[in-house]
Chains A and B, each alone.
Chain A
Amino acid sequence: MTTTLTPTKTTPTAGPTPSLLERLRVPGAFLLGAVLLMGVAPLALSDFRLDLLAKYLCYAIVAVGVSLAWGRGGLLVLGQGVFFGLGGYAMAMHLKLADAAATGQTLPDFMQLYGTGDTLPWWWQPFANPAFALAMTVLLPMAVAALLGFFVFRRRVKGAYFAILSQALAAALAIWLVGQQATTGGTNGLTDIQGFFGYDLGDPVNQRTVYFIIAAALLLLMAAARQLFVSRYGELLVAVRDSEERVRFFGYDPANVKLVAYVVAAGMAGLAGALFVPAVGIISPALIGIVPSIGFVIGAAVGGRASLVGAVLGAIAVAWAQSTLSDAFPAAWTYLQGLLFVLAVGFLPGGLASLVTVLRRRRTPTTQTGGTA
């Protein structure tokens, strides 16, 4: 036998051909999700409930990125609030400027109250351009993530250190925003947003349109993330997560592999923040600091961070539980949130998405010979 190896040629078959049912499983689930989000929910829910769902779907978009970076890449991204915030503020800055222009003002309302002069700060000015502002909602978070990730991953910072670092960044941004009352609205944030690219957000019809945009964005990003998951890159990302050192010996630079996942997740969080603003009408430091940043990963942890659908459903469920329960027991929610996180990470690392597999394995322990979890 010879071991002479020549690259590039491929044999056509890979494993047994999947059955029709298996082949239709993913497109079928996607179609079902689209029907539920685009058809059933708008018909079944009141305007008020649909607004709430729009908000939860924004968190779900963040969870798609968390699922990629944390679930597949092993990067515990505890500071997604930074990217959510950058996207949200970029969008809100444009909308505030547009609102002001619509009433013949040059400055947004809060600047007239707290501002020091009657000229717009230089870094606000380009955001008057809608195309620039829209591009920034995604590019700004991605650029920050790329810069941070470049240094962090090259220095081989990982695990808890990476998590603490990203969380500290979320705290720093929130604190900085609070301190800049004159230019960022301080603690209040950017509030009372009236219009969305010329449409009045007070009109329920326009609110519905915003919901449809958010739902479509979620579906598109899920499809994109799914493609990443099943691609060769997705396999490599899991390999880096499980044994970074080994991957390095194959001639890959794991820093680059992680960087891609981190930057894509940041872009998704930025887009989610941008869509959050027209859906809810506000962006403020309280929505992007440490507590919301932890909230972004809890949903994914509970639902199942390595499973795309699990992470998305988990994020929606936890956000729903939060708004329902925090009304009834405002003090208890924070504790419950912490408890959920500990329980999910400690006892069900695969989240609820893995519950079926875990139970099945428990019922028939003898069939799992020699297996490692």
Chain B
Amino acid sequence: MSGEGLTVRDLRVTFDGFKAVDGVDLDIRSGDLRFLIGPNGAGKTTLVDAVTGLVRSAGSVRFGGEELIGKPVHRIARMGIGRTFQTATVFEELTVLQNLDIAAGAGRGPLTMLRRRKGIPEQVTKALETTGLTDLRDRPAGVLAHGQKQWLEIGMLLVQNVRLLLLDEPVAGMSHDEREATGELLRRVSEDHTVVVIEHDMDFMRSFARSVTVLHAGKVLSEGSVAEVQADARVQEVYLGRASEPESARESEPAAASVPVAEEA
């Protein structure tokens, strides 16, 4: 199994006259590990919202030969697109295992639904291994550490058999070690999935991105490899012009993070 690419053409999202996404074209190849970066308000999350059917949009989004625009959220999810949110949303009162089992079960028939869960589905076992949560499977998800919740969310996407993962700031608020572990996890996942990551953490982006798209004011500003994007004068201008980028100025190396393009990859 491998991932499925995503083709976006002239995507537009407008909120009361404000153009949050303003004619974005995007080609994400199957198996890519693409980072979406850009200043706050650039339209990164709105773009993901539009692709997953959460906000109304115009233009075209094609995935696996089908048009996504106009489809309801749960239909798009069933086509194999999974996403996470900026705040980890796991079901706190259910155990890790129950969380994964629910995520895996959208295709279950009514008879299976009315019976008690017997045993652990194979893809759940695999997701537990991939995310390193096997030992915690009977714990309520509410007691997990912040990083573990994010990994559980990624695991919940894996058991859905998604082909495209859209992750919204997966390492926000994580410790250095947790970021490294998350990066390794994403690398493993991208071996047979297409992964798109919205991220503010530039170190993390430099370490793990295969390709990068920079959004600014609802438009694509630059696209290419990490090195290409870093060399782009327009990108430098956007980031240098907004030196006090609050989200990216996180714990490690705040100065470097606010001027991400000045360094070598």
Contact = CB atoms under 8 A, between A and B. Distances in A.
Interface of A: 1-15, 227-228, 230-233, 235-236, 238-239, 242-243, 245-253, 370-372
Q: Is the interface of A mostly helix, strand, loop or mixed?
A: loop
Interface in B91-135: 91-94, 97-99, 101-108, 112-123, 125-127, 129-130
Contacts, number: 139
A231 B114 contact: yes
Interface residues of B, number: 61
B233 interface: no
Contacts of B82: 249-250
29 contacts: A1-B130, A2-B192, A3-B188, A3-B193, A4-B192, A5-B158, A6-B123, A7-B121, A7-B122, A9-B122, A11-B122, A228-B114, A232-B101, A232-B108, A232-B116, A233-B113, A236-B105, A236-B113, A238-B91, A238-B94, A243-B91, A246-B85, A246-B90, A249-B74, A250-B77, A250-B102, A250-B105, A250-B160, A253-B72
A249 B102 contact: no
Given A235-B98, A251-B74, 20 more contacts: A1-B129, A3-B126, A4-B126, A5-B127, A7-B121, A9-B122, A10-B119, A10-B121, A14-B97, A235-B101, A236-B105, A236-B113, A246-B90, A246-B91, A248-B74, A250-B102, A250-B106, A251-B78, A253-B74, A371-B140
Interface in B51-104: 52, 72-75, 77-78, 82-83, 85, 89-94, 97-99, 101-104
B13 to A, nearest CB: 18
A232 B122 contact: no
A198 to B, nearest CB: 36
Nearest to B146: A370
A232 B112 contact: yes
Contacts of A5: 1, 122-123, 126-127, 158-159, 161
Contact of A6 (B94, B113, B122): B122
Nearest to A254: B74
A249 B52 contact: yes
Contact of B91 (A3, A227, A242): A242
Nearest to B166: A249
Contacts of A250: 74, 77, 82, 102-103, 105-106, 156, 160
B118 to A, nearest CB: 7
Given A233-B114, A250-B156, A251-B160, A372 B142 contact: yes
Interface string B1-42: 100000000000000000000000000000000000000000
